[in-house]
Amino acid sequence: MNSISIIARNEFSLIAMNPLVIVFVVVMFFLALVNVAGVTSVPMDSNFFMNPPYVIFFGFLDGIYMFTAVLFTFFAVCLGIVSVTDERSRGSLRVLFTKPLYRRDVILGKFLGIGSFLFLIILLTYTLNVSLMIAVLGVPGSAIELLLRVGTHVVLLFLNAGFTLGLVMVLGIALGEVGALIASLAFICYEWLPSSPSLTFTGILGSFSVIDPVYLYNKAFYPTNTFGATGFVDLYDEALPYFTWLQQASPYIVLMIAYLVIIVLVGCMLFAKEEA
What's the pLDDT score for residue 114?
93
Residue 43 lies in a domain: yes
Residue 232 lies in a domain: no
Q: Which residue has the higher pLDDT, 12 or 34?
A: 12
Residue 20 lies in a domain: yes
Distance CA 45, CA 235 (A): 28
Residue 69 lies in a domain: yes
Among candidate residues 229, 250, 254, 251, the one with its CA nearest the CA of residue 240: 229
Count structural domains, the chain: 1
Instruction: Of 25-34, 102-111, 189-198, give the lowest mean pLDDT range.
Output: 189-198
Residue 190 lies in a domain: yes
Residue 270 lies in a domain: no
In angstroms, the Cα distances linking 34 to 51, 58, 140, 268 are 21, 17, 20, 41
10 Å Cβ neighbour count for 135?
10
Q: What percent of the chain has pLDDT over 70?
A: 74
Determine the average pLDDT of the residues in 168-197. Answer: 74
Residue 261 lies in a domain: no
In angstroms, the Cα distances linking 124 to 98, 108, 119 are 37, 24, 9
For the stretch 136-162, pLDDT in tens is: 777 777 788 888 999 999 999 999 999
Determine the average pLDDT of the residues in 64-91. Answer: 76
Residue 208 lies in a domain: no
For the stretch 202-243, pLDDT in tens is: 555 555 566 788 888 888 888 876 555 556 778 888 778 888
Please give the mean pLDDT across all residues of the chain. 77
| Containing structural domain, residue 55 | 2-197
